[in-house]
Every structure is written in C-alpha cells, then in structure tokens.
Chain A
Amino acid sequence: MKNYQSKNINSIPYFFSGFWYKDPPKDVSLDGYRIDNVIHYTDLVIGIYFGIVVAALAYFIFKYRASLGHKAEYDHGNSRKNVMFTGGLGLLVFFSVDAVIEKMAFKDLKEAFWNFPKTENVIRIEVMPQQFAWNFCYAGPDNEFGTDDDIIPSQNQMHIPVNTPVVVQIASWDVIHSFYLPNFRIKQDATPGMITALWFQATETGVFDIACAELCGNSHYKMKGFLTVESEEDFQSWLSENTPEESQDDWDDWGDEDEEDTGVPEDWGWAWKEIK
C-alpha cells in the first residue's frame, strides 16, 4: 500500500446530520460578512423568483391538464401586451436582482476588497506556493523584501496578528495555484510570471486552514497550510524566533547546477510591488 493511504475519519456521526448541514466555515474576518450578505440576498431573491415559477408551473400543470378534457386556447402570445409583459418582467428581474447585487458587489469592492489599506500599521507578507506547499516571507527588521534579513518561516506556516490589516502578494513557483482562506471568504490565484495581491483582517485568534483552490497536480488535495491568528505580542515573538542568523545563502550561491535542484531557494523574495 502506498503512502497516500491517509487517515479515514469516522463518518458515522455526520451521516445523518450531514443531510442538512449547510453552514459555511466560521467567518473570522473584518469583511467576510459582506460576501455572506450578498450571498444571502441572492438566496432570498432567487428563492422568491424560483418559488413563483414553481407555483405557476404547479398551478398550470394542475389546472390545464388535458385529462380535464378542455381545448387549449389558440393564442400566440405575440400581442403587444404580451411582449410588454414578458419584457417588463425581464426588466423587473434585472432591476430587483441583478442591479441590486451589482450595486452591493461594487460597493464592497470599493470599500473593502479592492481598497487596499493605506495606513502604516500593515502586515505585509509574500506568498509563493509550489507543488505542493506554501512558502511565506516576511520583510524582517529592515522592512524591505528580497534582503538578507527576510524572515522565512517553515513551510505551510503563516502567522498574523489579530485586528491588523494584512496585505499579501502572491506569485507562483511552478504551476497555477490559488490561495484560499475559507474562514476569510477570499481567494486569489497565484500565476507564474505575475504578482497578484489581496488583503484581509482577522477579527479572532485561532488556527485556520489554508487551501489550494486551483488544480495543481496529484497532491493538490494535500496542499494545505495553517494560518495562525494571534495577539500582537505572540506574533512578534514568533517573528523573532524565525529571524534568520547573521549570514544566509545568497541567490548566487544557489545557482550551482551540478545537481538539478528545482526547489525554492532558501532566501526567496521579491521587491514589494507598489499597488495604486
């Protein structure tokens, strides 16, 4: 048997409760509620419209069944009145559903998701996924990336302080991955050759899953990281534990081609890209 044979969790407790389970993971972010809200509004309005359709369908099926022996009405529904009616309802759907959702979404993007924090008090992290792990990089004491004092903790471990905005820049080491934080309702693709970004802010401490949402190979399902949200003091002490020793290998040293090493170098990192 191969080593992918991992734990089998006992599914029995969930077998019956699972039938109606539907809660998303607990939202521990400042802006995740916005996404939950737009989803709930959409639930409500499409529930109403679908309910109307089903009610009409059920009524027609019952009322106009052929077994009653009546003759259908000869009506092409092409009259001006009919066309105005369907067109009007089409517009009603558009303005009561689509336009509202669009307005909510644009407002949330402007106020939150695309509104990167401009304050000084920001944690900046570079993320570089590889097949099949997450690498993180913190700027270190000099507050510059791509320098010797960058802090690179062990793989798959990301720490952030609670109640502080976190800006993440993402680039991929190999194929396309997607940085997905279910408890924060966000994800962002990591594409080789480009740097993408997102920001979020945690409102609770704890350890949360980081998942890869874009198919990246056979162990895509195991590409899991852990996001630890902790107090400012705990975060600072964790950072200092991970601060590198005086000298670290340079990029140049890594270039030896005698063994074909395609792994991520020990001191990766790129100059922080300014976002307008």
Chain B
Amino acid sequence: MSGHQKSFWTKYIFSTDHKMIAKQFLWLGMFFLFFGGALAMLIRWQLGYPEQPVPLIGNWMWPGDGGIINPDIYNQMFTMHGTIMIFWAITPLLIGAFGNFIIPLQIGAGDMAFPKLNLFSFWTMFLASLILLSSYLLPTGTAAGGWTSYPPLSSPAGGIPGLGQTIWTVALIFMGVSSMMGAINYITTVVRMRAPGMDYFKMPLSVWGLFLTSILNAVFVPVIAAGLVMLLLDQTIGTEFFLAGRLASGDPGDPLLFQHVFWIFGHPEVYILILPVWGIISDLLSVFSRKPAFGYRVTAIAMCTVTALSTLVWGHHMYTTGMSPLLGKSFMFLTLLISIPSAMFFLNWLGTMWKGSIHFTSPMLFSIGVIWVFGLGGLTGLYNATITADIYLHDTMFVVGHFHYTLAASVMFGSFAAIYFWFPRMFGRKLDSRLGKIHFWGTFISINFVFFNMMVLGYAGHHRRIYNPSEYSFLEPLTGLNEWISIFSFLLGVFQVVFLINMVWSMFKKERSPQNPWKATTLEWTMDYPIPHGNFEETPLVHNGPHEYSRPDIKDRDWLGQNERITV
C-alpha cells in the first residue's frame, strides 16, 4: 500500500490518504472562512454606515446602485454568510480537516476505515461548493431566505425571485451527503481501528469530541437532508409540504413542520460544531499545563451527556411560534439541564490549569481564549432558554451575539488552537509564535467587542436581519454602537490576514520543526515528518492514557508517550 510511486493526481488531488484529504478540507475551509468573513464585513458596513457607498470596492461591485449595498443584496449576504460559515468553513475546518487528520493518527490506525469513501466525501463537498458558488452567477443572485431558510419565504410562493434559493437547497443536500459519508467513516474508524490497548477511556479527548460529533452527524444530517428534499420538491415540482393558508392550493401543509425538522437537526448541529473544540481544548490545556487533564472520565462522560441532551432541546428555537405551554416548559427544563454537564467539564478545564506549569504558546493562548468566549457564550444561552426573556430577545441581535460567541468565537478559537498545534505535523514547520501572539490578542479584543456589543444591541431591542436600523426611532440611540461594532469587526478581519500570512510564510520557511515540538504524549507525534502513507511502520501498542505529564516516577523528562512502557 504505502511507499509506491504516485502521480501528481493520485497524490495531491484524488488522494485516499487521510492526511492529504485533511489538507484539502483545510484549504477549502480556509477559503470559505475568508469568503464568509468578507461577507460579514460588508454586512457590518451596511449596519454601521447604512446606505453609504462601500469604500474601495463598492463602485466596482454594484455600479448600478452607486456602490451601495441594496436590500436584496444585503439579504443575500447574510444568508450566504451564515450558510458558508457554518457548513463550508467550520465544518470542513474542524470536522473535515482535523477530524481526518487527528482520528487515525491519535488512535494508532493506518488510515480511515474507508479511504475511498473519504475521497468521495471531499469531492462531494467540493461539488457542493461549486454548486453553491454558481448561484452568484445568476442575475437574480443567491439565496436570500436566511441560513434557516424558512418556508414559505424560501419557496417560490414566498417571493424570493430566481433560482438562488433552489441552488442553495441542492448545494446543502450535497454537503449533507458529504457529511454523512465522513461521519460513517469516522465512527467506523474509532470503533474498529483503535490500536491494541487504546481503550475508549484511553482515547485523547479530541477523539472523543470528534467521535460524538460524528454520531450526531450520522443521526441528524439525514433528518435535515429529508427536510431539504421536501423543500426542494416544494420549490421545483409544486408540492406543498410547507405551504399553508392562502398559499396552499389543496390540503395545507405546515410551515412549522420545516422549523421542527430544521431545529431537530439544527440544535445538535450547534454541538456538532462545538464538541470537537471541547475535546481539543481539554487536550491542549493538559499539554501546555504539563499536567494530566483534570477529571478525564468526567469530561468524557459529561460530553456524552451533553450530546444526548442536545437532541431533546430543539423547541427552544421556537418559543415564539405559539407552541403549547407544556411543550415550551419541557423544552426549557431540558435545555437548562445542559448546564450541569457543561459546568462540570468547564470546571475540569480550570482544574487542569490548577497547580500546572503553564506555557503560553499560541495554541495555549487560543485554548485559554476558548474558556473565556465559551464561558460567555454558554452563560448567555440562559436568556434564550428562558421562555419569558426569549419572548423579548428572540430574533434580536442578542441571539446573534450569543450564537457568535459559541459558534464563531469559540469554534474559531478552537480551530486556531488546533491549527497552531498540529501545523508542525501537517507541514513540518511551526507557525511563528510572535505573529501568533499578535493574532491572538488582536482577535481576542476585537471579537469580544463585536459579539458582546451585539448582545447589548439586542438587549436594547435591535431586531436581526434588518437592512437599515435607522428606519426605527427606538433604534436611533444605537447608531453609534453599530458603528463601533463595525469598526472592530474590520479590525477583526485585519488580524485574520496576519494569520493567513503566518500560515503561508511558515509553510515555506526553511526551519523545520522538531518531531515532537510540544512534548506531547499522543501517538501522532511518534513518527518523523513527513508522515508516510499508512502512518505507523508497525502498529503501536498503547500502554498509557493520553495525558501522562509530570509523572513523579520519571526523572529526565516530564511526559510519557501513550505507546511507551515505563522503565524505572
């Protein structure tokens, strides 16, 4: 299998090597991350400086409108921003890239269980990307129904003109197929291909997080896929699954059915994205505190508990739809239950640092950053879980600020931590740590300013997805804050360019990283760079847990690899 000559095509393009597929997902995710980020800044321009021409690119992009973003374009922008960031940036980065890269290496497997399925997963995703981007070529533009795409607005009856909405649906179905292929592959790999001695409770918590994510993906992506197929039929052949009232010609369907289907998937999706981060952070805090992860088993079990609970809480997205009081109360109670396991692993993160020996490397800075941003993001979820507070805060910028703390800030910080940490394994070189510090502090300050103040806006009544807040007198005092948020969001964008420069420059620099620069214990650090196709020359035997740092019975160093036998 390994070692034989490969052409350019089989090595770089149609590779079945999980490490190469991981890199493909990484670049795909990075491309869309910057694409979605650019959309975010244009949205912020419109909100900070309503209906003023966009500087530099405005006249070139929208000459017909004098460089101004018009309401149709604006709706398309936030729709594509949400869709791209969730499904085309975070999903490929965390699950596609790091799921692929870490899982086989950390459990001591030669590759994924189904390498060809892995290949298909990436290229299906690539096809989905082309389909999604093709909607930019339409004269009527892209989808504009929001990332939630509620019918009837998203069906032709609802009045969004053109094919954009249909193409969006098709692209998402393809993306879902790609996710399902990945999920089945990851689950099988973790269940069947762990190296001898690698019990479930010896797996690094990163693998735990990705494993649980894959289970949720395998169970709930088919649900949204079914919903999207029904939506597609509504859009194309005139079925009426989601039409009711005047718009329905025959027996009415139900627009709320789509919301249920969407959020039965949509809430687990939040955890699909955050679980890998929880796992990665739990591991990295341990590495850089040189101390075993505090309460490893408790963290793993708490993550499983959250995974289970996440499937029972979707109704809290629908409090204002007029659901029955009994349902509303049940969903509120179940949602609040999540705070128990969350508080437990959150405390364990602090426990890991307690009495540690903390090294402030770039990945560690971003990991500590996650504690901060996820702390705020998680706690502010309480407002939205509370039915009464949510009556006021639902569909306001408060919700936008809250979910950006959990999904944008926490997940991005987690992804950055992962990139800084595993870059030496992927590209043989370390990222520059001085640029890393600039990147961290710039991102940390600006991201907090932006998302915290979005919550302030929402608390002041600012509803979401509005093109021009100056239409409303009660929003007038918020003009200044909107402008400040925009300024800081542009800053946030600038600091990501620093990161991109660091990545590209470090990839090609001469200085090689040592084999195990962080002195980490897990199996992915046990072989030379470049890691060969097949990973391990011989299957490793696992003797220890993933966090054996600072053992008092070892004198010359402060760590013990998972495959090392202790010699006294």
Listed in ascending order, the chain A residues whose CB lies under 8 Å from chain B are: 1-2, 4-9, 11, 13-19, 21-25, 34-35, 38-39, 42, 46, 49-50, 53-54, 56-57, 60-61, 64-66, 68, 70-78, 82-83, 85-87, 89-91, 93-94, 97-99, 101-102, 104-106, 108-109, 113-114, 131, 171-176, 178, 180, 182-183, 185-189, 191-194, 196-197, 208-209, 211-222, 224
* In contact, A14 and B479 (Cβ under 8 angstroms): yes
* In contact, A56 and B350 (Cβ under 8 angstroms): yes
29 CB < 8 A contacts A-B: A6-B470, A15-B484, A18-B484, A42-B389, A53-B371, A57-B350, A61-B353, A64-B356, A66-B359, A66-B360, A70-B357, A72-B289, A76-B295, A77-B352, A90-B347, A94-B336, A101-B336, A101-B382, A101-B386, A102-B332, A175-B159, A192-B244, A193-B245, A218-B72, A218-B144, A220-B466, A221-B467, A221-B469, A224-B471
Residues of chain B with a CB closer than 8 A to A9's CB: 470, 476, 479
* In contact, A174 and B159 (Cβ under 8 angstroms): yes
B436 at the interface (CB under 8 A from A): no
State the majority secondary structure of interface residues on A.
mixed
* In contact, B150 and A176 (Cβ under 8 angstroms): yes
Chain B: CB-nearest residue to A83: B298
Contact with A along B473-499 (1 / 0, CB 8 A): 110111111111000000000000000
CB distance from B438 to the nearest CB of A (A): 19
* In contact, A8 and B52 (Cβ under 8 angstroms): yes
Listed in ascending order, the chain B residues whose CB lies under 8 Å from chain A are: 50-52, 65-66, 68, 70-72, 75, 144-146, 150, 152-153, 157-160, 243-248, 252, 254-256, 289-298, 320-322, 325, 329, 332-333, 336-337, 339-341, 343-344, 346-348, 350-360, 368, 371-372, 375-376, 379-380, 382-383, 386-389, 391-396, 456, 459-461, 463-474, 476-484, 547, 549-552, 558
Chain A: CB-nearest residue to B154: A175
Chain A: CB-nearest residue to B470: A9
* In contact, A65 and B360 (Cβ under 8 angstroms): yes
Are A209 and B380 CB-contacts (below 8 A) given A8-B51, A221-B467? no
Are A77 and B294 CB-contacts (below 8 A) given A71-B550, A192-B247? yes
* In contact, B389 and A25 (Cβ under 8 angstroms): no
* In contact, A75 and B292 (Cβ under 8 angstroms): yes
* In contact, B371 and A93 (Cβ under 8 angstroms): no
Partner of A90, one of B70, B246, B343, B463: B343
Partner of A191, one of B246, B321, B347, B479: B321
Residues of chain B with a CB closer than 8 A to A187's CB: 320, 391-392, 394-395
* In contact, A197 and B322 (Cβ under 8 angstroms): yes
* In contact, B153 and A216 (Cβ under 8 angstroms): yes
Residues of chain B with a CB closer than 8 A to A19's CB: 480-481, 484
Residue from A19, A104, A191, A224 with most neighbouring chain B CB atoms (10 Å):
A191
A53 to B378, CA, bound (A): 13
* In contact, A192 and B152 (Cβ under 8 angstroms): yes
Chain A: CB-nearest residue to B244: A193
* In contact, B297 and A78 (Cβ under 8 angstroms): yes
Residues of chain A with a CB closer than 8 A to B160's CB: 217
CB distance from A225 to the nearest CB of B (A): 11
Are A25 and B392 CB-contacts (below 8 A) given A57-B368, A66-B359, A172-B245? no
* In contact, A93 and B550 (Cβ under 8 angstroms): no
Residues of chain A with a CB closer than 8 A to B371's CB: 53, 57
Partner of B375, one of A53, A64, A78, A209: A53
* In contact, B387 and A105 (Cβ under 8 angstroms): yes
Residues of chain A with a CB closer than 8 A to B547's CB: 76
Residues of chain A with a CB closer than 8 A to B321's CB: 189, 191, 196
CB distance from B246 to the nearest CB of A (A): 6
A175 to B396, CA, bound (A): 19
A194 to B244, CA, bound (A): 8
CB distance from A30 to the nearest CB of B (A): 14
